[in-house]
Structure 1
């Protein structure tokens, strides 16, 4: 059994020793509209801009969110998503635009678990997306080359550990695919083991209340540095493979939410920023 498989199995095991986590106090969401209006080149013609602030202190990562009044509603759950959010960091990041959203359902009864939205910086100069590119390839180009946010909003109270276990299962699935396709080297596999252990440790054994957003911010690649994946109010991991593949799994096959994937594909069908 490979090192990364053993790490994934250990992360899922209830017998594993749990890391001691100091829970970061959650800051309330503001429902006030932004005082300024920015012109955004957006798939969805976003007008309002929220703020998603990122700061690092003593190894912890904090993300605050001020949401705009300009939103889109998931028709399956009535949960609202801002059309655009802004990440505040030392390096200026343009507003991230809502590319698509959808509901996650489970069992043959179609129980609604959460709504999920996908945001991205579509103005990044590193994106090369011609209009005739296949929409699925457009998704991969976006995830691999620019800032992204996956926002999960549960329809009912759940737990951080439940979501953590789902993330670990997703990585295990991506690992199987990568090894089958020969796209993951032994060196990459070994380098991913520690970030996966950290991914398990940053989630507290506590409830996640109904309609409380959980944001995953995937930073754009920076030459010479591992790619960061920040979990709102919890912490961050840094590894190119783990960070990118966890976001890409939302679009593998039907993904956890087929409506999300369909929404993103539909909105990207005519999008291009490259001749």
Structure 2
């Protein structure tokens, strides 16, 4: 008979675990497994996420601010342009354009101010306009060439000069503006200028057609042929002419003199007729008349060449009045000096002002479109 099971044996705990039960144990070298809470609270990763968010937010805000500023500026500019196109100008200022096209031809823009003066706009803010015509009162007696200012001694009415063209004189590669220069021809002598240039192209014509004017324009723009044409015209026609110079910034007579002297000396080296002592004396007299002080902007310097080539230099306050008062500061009688000085603006490979030369040629072309002798009676 099997032995009976004692009740106390059922209550005693087992001394061994069952063979199929595994107990998790941690040894010395085993890594501690992170729990879920620690993983979610990784501070470094949270800080990196916050930093990236702030950087992206700042970049988007800055881009929005820049885009908004650009849109505001562009909208304001478009609005200004629209208002400028549609507004009615009752009291308009002097226009900036110096030429306009009429019937396929370029003509100088001429405006009449409230005082009835005929003005040609320059496109510059300092010297806004040049007079279309001006009267130059020349001395009737010989003047000492000692460089001192003398009182103006003039004939009764003066000689009327008509503007041919103008332009800005600039220096250095950045286009540093120095002065505006305008070329005038005596109104009574324009017919001589017309006749000489027209006969050069067509000896039988009294005016030029479009193709002939283009031929003349190319000849005057050519460095060699243009210099030859102007040189012969100055020698042979006896046209009285004036260069009107007005600084657009404060300068002095010495700077102006240095520019004139360099131009004349450069051209005189190529002319064998300018190597004698008389020409050297004329250069000394020319330099002496510029031994003066400052010349303020908007003041006026006139270089006048008479029918015999004598050079007279006059100084004025820059008034637009037809009969503005000017003072004579010197005279040089040698025709060669004034001719070389004139060529410095009219022709050659290097001129004092290329815009002035181009504008002067356009003015000459305007004369060529009219029959000889009719420009003086032209109604603007």
TM over 0.5: yes
Unpaired segments ≥5 residues, structure 1: 1-42, 49-66, 222-226
Give the Cα–Cα distance (whole angstroms) in 2 for the partners of residues 161 and 247 of structure 1: 19
Q: Is contact 1:46-1:84 (8 Å) kept?
A: no
Give the Cα–Cα distance (whole angstroms) in 2 for the partners of residues 77 and 218 of structure 1: 29
Structure-2 residue corresponding to 1:160: 253
Q: Indicate the structure with greater helix content.
A: 2
Structure-2 residue corresponding to 1:75: 123
Could you tell which deviates more after superposition, 111-120 or 82-91? Answer: 82-91
Q: Does residue 214 of structure 2 align to residue 146 of structure 1?
A: no
Q: Does residue 365 of structure 2 align to residue 269 of structure 1?
A: yes
Offset of residue 257 of structure 1? 0.9
SS at match of 1:129: helix
Total equivalences in the alignment: 204
From 254, 257, 261, the equivalent of 2:353 is 257
CA RMSD of superposed structures (Å): 2.9
Q: Is contact 1:158-1:209 (8 Å) kept?
A: yes
SS at match of 1:271: helix
The C-alpha deviation readout for 1:100-152, integer Å capped at 9, x for no partner, is: 01001111221111111110125326442313472425654654421111111
Could you tell which deviates more after superposition, 258-267 or 123-132? Answer: 123-132
Shift of the 77–148 alpha-carbon distance from structure 1 to 2, 3 Å rule, reads farther
Shift of the 191–208 alpha-carbon distance from structure 1 to 2, 3 Å rule, reads same
Offset of residue 73 of structure 1? 2.0
Highest RCO, 1 vs 2 (Cα 8 Å, sep ≥ 6): 1
Scaled by the length of structure 2, what TM-score is found? 0.48
SS at match of 2:367: coil
Give the Cα–Cα distance (whole angstroms) in 1 for the partners of residues 270 and 303 of structure 2: 22
Give the Cα–Cα distance (whole angstroms) in 2 for the partners of residues 259 and 267 of structure 1: 12
Scaled by the length of structure 1, what TM-score is found? 0.65
Q: Does residue 182 of structure 2 align to residue 113 of structure 1?
A: no
Shift of the 254–93 alpha-carbon distance from structure 1 to 2, 3 Å rule, reads farther
Unpaired segments ≥5 residues, structure 2: 1-106, 141-154, 199-207, 221-225, 315-326, 374-380
Offset of residue 196 of structure 1? 0.6
Shift of the 265–140 alpha-carbon distance from structure 1 to 2, 3 Å rule, reads farther
The C-alpha deviation readout for 1:169-227, integer Å capped at 9, x for no partner, is: 01111112324xxxx265xx332111110011111330001111111111112xxxxx3
